[in-house]
Amino acid sequence: MNKRGTQTGPREVEIVINVLCFAHMKDIFGGEKLTINSGGIATVEDVLEYLKATYDADISGIMTAVNEEFAEESTPVGQGDTVALIPPVSGG
């Protein structure tokens, strides 16, 4: 993970986040992979809020993973991280 900006107002630093969409998330977002290039993103919750606002998407109840590990809304995300949107799984 890269260091975040150290000047005042680090939340304004633009970072790139990769978002992976699976199952019906692909239908919601129109593809398997999104790239977010935005300021004001520091946690998974920020990513979800950004997606809800930008795509007017209902993504309540889904889990997330950051860099292939299950995450909480409070999990930090930074430059170049990959956030996966994980609907309830149905393997087996």
Partner 1 sequence: MKKRFFVTSEPLSVEELAAEVTRPEAGAVVQFIGTVREFTQGRRTVYLEYEAYHSMAEKQLEAIGREVKERWPDAESAVGHRTGELKISDAAVVIAVSTPHRKDAYEANEYIIERIKQIVPIWKKEHWEDGEQWVGDQLEQTRYPDGAPGGGNSD
**Footprint of partner 1 on this chain (CB under 8 A)?**
20, 22-24, 27-28, 57-58, 65, 68, 70, 84, 86-92
- Could you tell me the CA-to-CA distances from 85 to 1, 8, 18, 27, 79 in Å, in that order? 19, 31, 11, 12, 18
Nearest residue (CB) to partner 1, 9 versus 91: 91
Least distance in angstroms from the C-beta of 37 to partner 1: 23
- Using DSSP's 3-state secondary structure scheme, residue 80 falls into coil
Least distance in angstroms from the C-beta of 32 to partner 1: 10
Nearest residue (CB) to partner 1, 11 versus 24: 24
Nearest residue (CB) to partner 1, 13 versus 63: 63
E-state strands within the chain: 15-21, 33-38, 63-66, 69-71, 82-86
